[in-house]
């Protein structure tokens, strides 16, 4: 890669829970100070991983290191084995040498899309060191405050036969928000990409994932989630041509004036106005709208 990238990603959620907090009974994550909704970077990375796994279907170089049910140390051990390293992490005499760790690190980057994209800590067990990923995502924050709702649901069926004649239904809870538009900032370092082997093809897969991943992540609890805008700032150089935060300031998202004046809350993306300031763009910076 010869270019640094920064991007603004807008996505929304309607009648669902975009990212539940397990420490708060799975209610939508929220900033208690201003009641704005939050979605963790880990949540979006999980969806990107899942999409890459679906599209590439196990193609060489596009396996996923962090996935449900996988044993991470076993995958690290497989990389050492493929390189012919005779190691045993339980034995002091057969632990991986610094050279073997370095080679295993390169092999893990080659094998796993998410390692060379997001990085990974692989210094456990067989040990393949640590990788600092070129692609980093911020926490996503809703444009306006959200309204978390805690709703009751019932189930007509029973679990055991002895409960069949019981008059009471099984009760459950669902946590949703009526609507929220979230903004995420992303950063792609060309220098780190060249260290991990993250290529232009990998970058295109990332853009496709951000555009399509919600269509392959449906569930009753997540309602309708959809990408709305992906605004990319492409730099002409490895190090970049302008500070990321200054470029992000060029993208403004606001509620339509007539709704704001009436004190009404947004209920769809069409209730917002997205403006991109293209005036006096720093030399060497190009704005690309992927969505």
**DSSP string of 205-242, one letter each residue:** HHHHHHHHGGGG---GGG-EEEEEEEEEEEESSSS-SS
Output the pLDDT for position 172. Answer: 81
Taking Cα atoms as reference points, which of 238, 133, 113, 112 lies closest to residue 195? 133
The percent helix, strand, coil of the chain (3-state, each to 5) is 35, 30, 35
User: How far is residue 102's CA from residue 122's CA, in Å, rounded to a whole number?
Assistant: 11
Query: What is the gyration radius of the CA atoms in the chain, in angstroms?
Result: 23
Whether the pTM exceeds 0.85: the reply is yes
User: How far is residue 181's CA from residue 143's CA, in Å, rounded to a whole number?
Assistant: 6
The full DSSP string for 241-291 is SS-HHHHHTTEEEEE-HHHHHHTPPP-SGGGEEEEE--TTPPTTEEEEE--
pLDDT tens, per residue, the chain with 291 residues:
999 999 999 999 999 999 999 999 899 999 999 999 999 999 999 999 999 999 998 799 999 999 988 899 999 999 999 999 988 888 877 888 999 999 999 999 999 999 999 999 999 889 999 999 999 999 999 999 999 999 988 877 777 777 777 666 677 889 999 999 999 999 999 999 999 999 999 999 999 999 999 999 999 888 899 999 999 999 999 999 999 999 999 999 999 999 999 999 999 999 999 999 999 999 999 999 999
Output the pLDDT for position 157. Answer: 78
């Amino acid at each position: 890669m010869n270019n640094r990238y920064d991007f603004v990603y807008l996505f929304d959620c309607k009648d669902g829970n975009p990212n539940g907090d397990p420490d708060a009974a799975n209610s939508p994550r929220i900033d208690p100070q201003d009641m704005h909704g939050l979605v963790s970077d880990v949540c979006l990375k999980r969806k990107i991983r899942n999409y890459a796994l679906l599209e590439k279907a196990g193609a060489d170089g596009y396996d996923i290191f962090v996935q449900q049910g996988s044993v991470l140390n076993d995958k690290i051990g497989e990389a050492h084995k493929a390189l012919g390293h005779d190691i045993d992490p339980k034995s002091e005499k057969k632990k991986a040498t610094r050279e073997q760790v370095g080679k295993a690190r390169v092999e893990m980057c080659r094998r796993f899309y998410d390692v060379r994209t997001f990085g990974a800590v692989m210094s456990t067990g067989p040990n393949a060191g640590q990788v600092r990923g070129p692609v980093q995502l911020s926490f996503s924050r809703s444009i306006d405050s959200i309204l978390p709702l805690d709703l009751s649901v019932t189930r007509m069926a029973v679990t055991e036969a002895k409960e069949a004649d019981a008059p009471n239904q099984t009760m459950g809870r669902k946590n949703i928000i009526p609507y929220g538009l979230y903004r995420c900032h992303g950063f792609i370092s060309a220098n780190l990409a060249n260290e991990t082997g993250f290529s232009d093809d990998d970058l295109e897969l990332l853009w496709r994932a951000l555009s399509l991943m919600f269509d392959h992540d449906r569930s009753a609890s997540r309602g309708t989630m959809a990408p709305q805008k992906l605004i990319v700032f492409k730099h002409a150089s490895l190090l970049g041509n302008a500070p990321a935060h200054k470029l992000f300031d060029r993208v403004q998202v606001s509620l339509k004036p007539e709704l704001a004046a009436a004190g009404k809350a947004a209920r769809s993306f069409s209730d917002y106005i997205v403006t991109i300031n293209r005036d006096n763009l720093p030399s060497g910076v190009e704005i690309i709208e992927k969505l």
